[in-house]
A and B are shown apart, each in its own frame.
Chain A
Amino acid sequence: MARVIVVTSGKGGVGKTTTSASISTGLALRGFKTAVIDFDVGLRNLDLIMGCERRVVYDLINVVNGEANLNQALIKDKHCDNLFILPASQTRDKDALTEEGVEKVLKDLEHLGFDYILCDSPAGIERGAVMALTFADEAIVVSNPEVSSVRDSDRILGILQSKSRRAIEGREPVKEHLLVTRYSPKRVEDGEMLSYKDVQELLRIPLIGVIPESDDVLQASNQGTPAIHLKDSDVAIAYQDVVARFLDEDRPLRFVAYEKPGLLKRLFGGK
């Protein structure tokens, strides 16, 4: 059985696509056959983050409409053998997504032997976002420690609990995970940023990880390499931890406590 995971948030710009790219890569590196689908029809960007933008020929809407088959549309990742990207259409709008169409694509992916299917949700609570979460077995809710993001995350949790297939059919509910991103331990310590505990207390779902705010994320997207591949990067390690916890391994939280820079570091700078 393929597991369908939606990466969602409500608010835009919080790190959904960065997270989708890194977690799908992490699962593939662990040996699972993984597909990652961009649901942001009209504003696709997962292809850029994964560095496969020049290899896009067919997209999700072509497959939904039967203009291409899955094998033609799936793009093999340049780093991992068992990771495939299904890009969104750049020319259509989100109304082109139908529930039947999406369901068929997911079923077909399952028949191709995929273990995990990640759905990278667009921002908002409109059709694209609802389609991305409709068939989810698990949800990774990405939230920044900031008021508008937390409120929107709560809103999207409400939608998960009412509009997902699992909710409608009264099956076991979608398994929810909270991922706090762009976290700055120093600002939390200074009392100017919500702590991950605050966010978790407000949203009341289990925490799967905390990703520190870092310049590395921009470096990664500049190059079209998922952040989890970066060498010696806190962000990469934090995402590897998230993947491990997703696979039920026990990993203590890292990068959540502020460490004062030592004298040498202060004198000579450095990252």
Chain B
Amino acid sequence: MSLLSYFFGSKQKTASVAKERLSLIIAHERGTNRTPDFLPDLQRELIAVISKYVNVGPDDIKVQLEKQDNCEILEVNITLPEQPQK
């Protein structure tokens, strides 16, 4: 806190902090609480299929459903293991 605000006792503007914290936590909880039931199954089956061909672990595949206005985006993120250098 600066010296000026120390003397004049201006209060901290906390509302913007509250808004920022809320927008993060609400976005996060909407993501976890409102995903359709099939996502865990989809993730499991994708792992089964892909691991037939590539050596991937359960944590290497992320399935997320995002909602932007009226448009839903299904995002599948597969991290392939690092190739050994030839």
Which residues from chain A sit less than 8 Å from chain B, CB to CB? 146-147, 150-151, 154-155, 158, 161-162, 188, 190-195, 198, 202-203
CA distance A161 to B67 in the complex (A): 15
Number of A-B contacts (CB under 8 A): 48
Binds A, one of B1-9, B22-30, B52-60: B22-30
CA distance A158 to B15 in the complex (A): 24
Q: Which of A158, A192, A194 interacts with B34 by CB under 8 Å?
A: A158
A230 CB, nearest partner CB in chain B, Å: 29
Q: A158-B33, A194-B19, A202-B19 are in contact. Are A151 and B14 (CB under 8 A)?
A: no
A30 CB, nearest partner CB in chain B, Å: 35
Q: A151-B29, A191-B15, A195-B15 are in contact. Are A162 and B34 (CB under 8 A)?
A: yes
B60 CB, nearest partner CB in chain A, Å: 29
- B26 A194 Cβ-Cβ under 8 A: no
Q: A154-B30, A155-B29, A161-B34 are in contact. Are A190 and B11 (CB under 8 A)?
A: yes
B86, CB-defined interface residue at 8 Å = no
- B30 A188 Cβ-Cβ under 8 A: no
- A155 B11 Cβ-Cβ under 8 A: no
Give the interface SS of chain B, mostly helix, strand, loop or mixed.
helix
Can you show 17 pairs from A to B with CB atoms below 8 A apart? A147-B21, A147-B22, A150-B22, A150-B26, A151-B26, A151-B29, A154-B30, A158-B30, A161-B34, A162-B34, A190-B13, A192-B14, A193-B15, A194-B15, A195-B15, A202-B19, A203-B26
CA distance A192 to B29 in the complex (A): 25
Give the interface SS of chain A, mostly helix, strand, loop or mixed.
helix
- B29 A194 Cβ-Cβ under 8 A: no
Which residues from chain B sit less than 8 Å from chain A, CB to CB? 11-16, 18-19, 21-23, 25-26, 29-30, 33-34
Given contacts A147-B21, A192-B11, A192-B15, 16 further A-B contacts (CB under 8 A): A146-B18, A147-B18, A151-B22, A151-B25, A151-B29, A154-B29, A158-B33, A188-B15, A193-B15, A194-B15, A194-B18, A195-B15, A198-B18, A202-B23, A202-B26, A203-B26
- Chain A neighbourhood of B16, CB < 8 A: 191
A146 CB, nearest partner CB in chain B, Å: 8
Q: Which of B12, B14, B19, B26 interacts with A154 by CB under 8 Å?
A: B26
